[in-house]
Structure 1
């Protein structure tokens, strides 16, 4: 069955002092999903397991991300997490700290709803 993307949300997360890419990525996902709600499920009788969720995380050091751990923290749907190079590291020469900034795109897909609705 053909899928349709029903939502895409973007988020940003950071770890200011620990260079913890996992923490920054988790915060980016939380930031993205905090701004959305999908009341469509109870409205039309769909099970949230019908939704596929694709998360893309961008950080400067993708190999430091545990994608499976991030996936397990997603609240709904059949999830997949991919990690790419991106985000930003911001060094502080005075303290030696590096702030890690991660970005996230969270996309949700449903089976096509084409032809299932009539305008009243």
Structure 2
């Protein structure tokens, strides 16, 4: 990316089910949910959102090997997306195990995301 225009941050949690991809997608959606970039096309090649660069950084507490990067990328509606995964986030108790929700234990998975947008 030559020029970063926006950096958006978010947090996502999977309270029940211990699914790191669910928490990561929620973190990305939280980061981009309240934003609009009406002028971004004016700086993109051919004024196309397909030429936007999107760098995602995910801080995950565990299960990096189970993170579905393709599903994570699909959470972003436009652009050429790259994903970097690092240690971080949090594991904490939900206080209850709900087997009907897919719980294997009482842990909540919390992922933090940074979404950089530019060209």
Q: Distance in 2 between matches of 1:106 and 1:42?
A: 18
> Corresponding residue for 2:58?
57
User: What RMSD in Å do the two structures reach over aligned CA positions?
Assistant: 2.0
5+ residue gaps, structure 1, are 111-120
User: Offset of 1:82 from its aligned partner?
Assistant: 1.5
Residue number in structure 2 paired with 1:48: 49
- For the structure 1 residues 13 and 92, does the alpha-carbon distance in structure 2 shift closer, same or farther, using more than 3 Å as the test? closer
Q: If the length of structure 1 is used for normalisation, what is the TM-score?
A: 0.80
Q: Does 1:73 align with 2:112?
A: no
CA apart distance, 1:85? 1.1
Q: After TM superposition, give the deviation of residue 94 of structure 1 in Å.
A: 6.0
Q: Which residue in the other structure is 1:25 paired with? A: 24
| Residue matched to 2:4 | 5
The 1:92–1:14 alpha-carbon spacing in structure 2 relative to 1, beyond 3 Å, is: closer
Q: Counterpart in 1 of 2:89?
A: 87
- Structure 2 length as normaliser, TM-score? 0.81
Aligned pair 1:108/2:107, yes or no?
Answer: no
Q: What count of residue pairs does the alignment treat as equivalent?
A: 109
